[in-house]
A = this chain, B = another copy of it.
Amino acid sequence: MPADGVRPGVRLLEAVSEAARNTDISVKSAGCLGNCRRGISVAMLRPGGWSYLFGELEETSADDILAGAALFATSSDGFMPFGARPEALKRGLIARIPTFDHLKDLP
């Protein structure tokens, strides 16, 4: 906990919220994502896509998060392309999870 009492994850939330203003990207504070061992965590969801979780993020990761979210939002297959992703979202990938919509299509 830093001296001013504001956790790094809260600072990142504020920075991402600010960066997402005037975009179609919605930013929410979601509570515990069960990933404490791997630093600041962010989940990304989109209609028709799998859900992603990233960790090992920094207070300064807001621009990378927004860039990844925009990439995810505009992908044609519902996945976030790996190659074009900011480095922080390559090394910080924790998991991706299908949604019920996808499970319906699986045998």
**Residues of chain A at the chain B interface (Cβ within 8 Å):** 26, 28-35, 41, 43, 45, 47, 51-53, 93-100, 102-103, 106-107
Least CB distance, A33 to chain B, in whole angstroms: 6
Residues of B within 8 A of A43 (CB): 95, 97-98
Q: Which residue of B lies closest to A35 (CB)?
A: B95
Residues of B within 8 A of A31 (CB): 98
How many monomers of this chain does the complex have? 2
Q: Determine if B106 and A33 form an interchain contact, defined as CB atoms under 8 angstroms apart.
A: no
Residues of B within 8 A of A28 (CB): 103, 106-107
Q: Determine if B45 and A96 form an interchain contact, defined as CB atoms under 8 angstroms apart.
A: no
Residues of B within 8 A of A107 (CB): 28-29
Known: A35-B95, A94-B34, A95-B35. A47 touches B100 (CB 8 A): yes
Q: Determine if B96 and A99 form an interchain contact, defined as CB atoms under 8 angstroms apart.
A: no
A33–B45 alpha-carbon span in the complex (Å) = 15
Q: Which residue among A28, A32, A94 has the maximum number of chain B CB atoms within 10 Å of its CB? A: A94
